[in-house]
Amino acid sequence: MDVFRQVTSHTAVLPQANIDTDQIIPARFLKITDKQGLGENAFYDWRYDEQGKPNPAFVLNQNPFDQAGVLVAGDNFGCGSSREHAPWALLGKGFRAVISTRIADIFSNNALKNGLLPIVVDSAFHQKLTAQPGATVNIDLEQQTVTLAEDGARVGFTIDPFARYCMLHGIDHLDFLLQQEEAIKAYEEAAA
Amino acid sequence: MEHPSPTNQGSSPPSRPRTLFEKIWQQHEVKAATADHPAVLYIDLHLIHEVTSPQAFDELRRRGLKVRRPDRCLATMDHSTPSLPADAAGAFPYVDDLARKQVEKLVENCRAFGIELYDLNSEHQGIVHVIGPEMGATQPGKTIVCGDSHTSTHGAFGALAFGIGTSEVGHVMATQCLLQHRPKTTAVEFTGRLKPGVGAKDMILALIAEIGVGGGTGQVFEYRGEAVEALSMEERMTLCNMSIEAGARAGLVAPDQKTFDYLKGRPWSPQGQAWEKAVARWRELPTDEGAAFDRVVHIDASRIEPMITFGTHPGMAMPIDDTVPAEIHGEATDKALNYMQFKAGETLIGKKVDVVFIGSCTNSRISDLREAASIFRDRNVAPGVRALIVPGSKKVKAMAEAEGLDQIFRAAGAEWREPSCSMCIAMNGDQVGAGQLAVSTSNRNFEGRQGKGSRTLLAGPATAAAAAVTGVVTDARRLGGT
């Protein structure tokens, strides 16, 4: 996993609530056996028309939002299936963080394991972000803050300390679990 | 993320009343959570399928790791598999090369890592959440995971079962453990009794309509009350299956005599003296009198009507006779209604239906097929409607055929298929066309879920069957037969 300390980028805003993982990456793109090409298919059914041509009305097809590194999305982002292809697709599209007022559990777990930072903010700050698509924000994982460049408005966010440590140092969660071998063995022996 | 500091309950005195969830959690803590790391939770059963496992197997290869406990894995293929049988030469009609290769990759991976696989030629193959219980692999008190959000199904047996992503699939393969934050607990109390013609699918849709698709985020539900106790094991699976559609991590029902009777004698169930011991252990699992939940939700089961969805997520559900609302949970429904081509204030009764799908891990078990057959019997699929019936497993299919249900479906003009996820996720070529309206017994009515541009109405098997034979959205109670 790549080290994540700070990200400064402009935002793209998808204000709808309940954007599910079928919208982030439709199921027909799950037949791959690797992680390649998912970024091109992120939000496919919103992003392309029947002929596969980019839909100019969709935000992520518009400059500068197509280059955004931070996605601001409506409440309950990432609901639905457990497909890790969803964070893979968002990372492939160039996003490093998603900001919402609520983020679904499995999506959030999956995102954290891949260096995509899920950030939950209060609705007042969220409204501020959705009102100015393309605004530049600084996300500081060390300080656990999101700052709007324009007026310096800042909000803190909470994150599981373990996931934060892993992201700050680029450590894979599996490395930690593999170090628990003795405890796992002892558990199995006691349970047998 | 909402609960960064789970407390260590492992050292609590045993006399303190505990919930079913707490008992399972505590029994599986290899290491309790600390300020530095979440709990290390032992996983008893890992269900594996072709879509969410290949990248995890590759990670094991990259690191030179083995699958730690192949004996705790149950693998099958269901998402990308065709619902049509093999040809005379034994070749299966995959929708495309990618699907075939994905399934072949699972075969290769299971062979390389020593995992038993129920493949398309196995009599045990089926939708992973149908065959786990059927094989007796799903048992009370177990921790069960799968790279699939509908793993919550297995909570019907009093097992703590939840969906995970592919990274975590790799974690379980390599260590049989997961790093987990302790979720909060919600008691969902269904008081009173269901009316005739109302079932488990209606209960769960009514709950999600009440609390919303994010209403269970960070929580584990325990379904309780008279109406839950009265459900069969198959109905309890339908109920727990859609816990994730409320955003819950898992859904649980306390194990009881019905649970034990269901499991007795199944291939993976304990046998002989081990069975008696297991049942004695399982009887200790139900929530103790006086145990506290973080939250309690009350639903009056006697007031639940047959439910149907009208929008683009499962929380947009209503009694079938109601009119489409302009908002739900303070969320305007206009965008969803625009997609669905419905207007606020209108009824769905009488809407012309193009496709009916009866299947999926929600409603593809034998009781679901019996319920549907009672409507199809001596009736025909209405002109212009395509009705697809996909049993959940080879075993369900064999049972249905032994009872002659397939004959009822075929005689009515419905398509009787091979076990697969099929039109629920539309990965295998079974799909609803753009703009077409489908009544489906599956679990998600998201935009494009059943095929690009598909419009899905979720409902129970009787409502789906009633739509098939009348050609329009119909309250099945008006037809009789359930």
Instruction: Write out the DSSP string of B347-414.
Output: B-TT-B-SEEEE-TTTS-SHHHHHHHHHHHTT--PPTT-EEEE--SBHHHHHHHHHHTHHHHHHHHT-
As for the ipTM of the complex, it is: 0.97
Q: Does domain B180-263+279-302 have CATH number 3.40.1060.10?
A: yes
Closest by CA to A24, choosing from A57, A49, A60, is A60
**In the structure encoding, which two tokens stand for residue B280, read together?**
């004695």
In chain B, residues under CATH classification 3.40.1060.10 are 180-263+279-302
The pLDDT value recorded for residue B17 is 98
pLDDT band at A2 (very low <50, low <70, confident <90, very high): confident
Whether residue A116 contacts residue A91, with contact meaning beta carbons closer than 8 Å, is answered with yes
Contacts B79 to A, Cβ<8 Å: 30
pLDDT band at B217 (very low <50, low <70, confident <90, very high): very high
Collect all residues with Cβ–Cβ distance below 8 Å to B75 and sequence separation of at least 6. B47, B48, B49, B53, B106, B110, B115, B116, B117, B118
Contacts A191 to B, Cβ<8 Å: 42
Contacts A118 to B, Cβ<8 Å: 1
List all residues of chain B from 30 to 89 with a beta carbon under 8 Å from chain A.
30-31, 35-38, 40, 42, 51-52, 54-55, 58-59, 63, 65, 79-80
CATH of B306-478 given 3.30.499.10, 3.40.50.2000, 3.40.50.1110, 3.40.50.300: 3.30.499.10
Q: Quick check: B96 pLDDT over 70?
A: yes
Tell me which residue in A18, A75, A161 faces B36 most closely, judged by beta carbons: A161
First to last CA, chain B: 44
CA distance B145 to A134: 39
pLDDT band at A1 (very low <50, low <70, confident <90, very high): confident
SS3 B221: strand
SS3 B464: helix
Whether residue B394 contacts residue B122, with contact meaning beta carbons closer than 8 Å, is answered with yes
SS3 B309: strand
In CATH, the number for domain B20-178 is 3.30.499.10
Q: What percent of chain B has pLDDT over 90?
A: 95
Planar angle of CA B456, B459, B464, nearest 5 degrees:
85
CA distance B454 to B425: 11
In chain B, residues under CATH classification 3.30.499.10 are 20-178, 306-478
CA distance B474 to A158: 48
**Beta sheet of B117-118, edge-to-edge order:** B117-118, B73-76, B45-48, B143-146, B160-163
Q: What is the mean pLDDT of residues A55-79?
A: 98
Residue B11 CB: number of other CB atoms within 10 A?
8
CA distance B418 to B421: 10
Task: Flag if B444 and A80 touch (Cβ within 8 Å).
Answer: yes
CATH architecture of A6-191: Alpha-Beta Barrel (3.20)
Give tens-digit pLDDT for B13-48: 557 999 999 999 999 999 999 999 999 999 999 999
List all residues of chain B from 320 to 349 with a beta carbon under 8 Å from chain A.
331, 335
Tell me whether B149 touches chain A (CB under 8 Å).
Answer: yes
Whether residue B136 contacts residue B275, with contact meaning beta carbons closer than 8 Å, is answered with no
Contacts A83 to B, Cβ<8 Å: 51-52, 165
Question: Would you give the distance in Å from CA A170 to the centre of its chain?
Answer: 16
pLDDT band at B482 (very low <50, low <70, confident <90, very high): very low
Q: Quick check: B82 pLDDT over 50?
A: yes
Contacts A17 to B, Cβ<8 Å: 331
Å between B249 CA and nearest CA of chain A: 7
Task: Flag if B427 and A27 touch (Cβ within 8 Å).
Answer: yes
Task: Flag if B30 and A114 touch (Cβ within 8 Å).
Answer: no
Q: What is the mean pLDDT of residues A50-56?
A: 95
For strands B415-416 and B437-440, give the pairing. unpaired
Nearest CA in chain A to B4: A160
Planar angle of CA A6, A7, A12, nearest 5 degrees:
155
List all residues of chain A from 36 to 95 with a beta carbon under 8 Å from chain B.
45, 50, 75-76, 79-84, 87
Whether residue B444 contacts residue B453, with contact meaning beta carbons closer than 8 Å, is answered with no
Q: Quick check: A66 pLDDT over 90?
A: yes
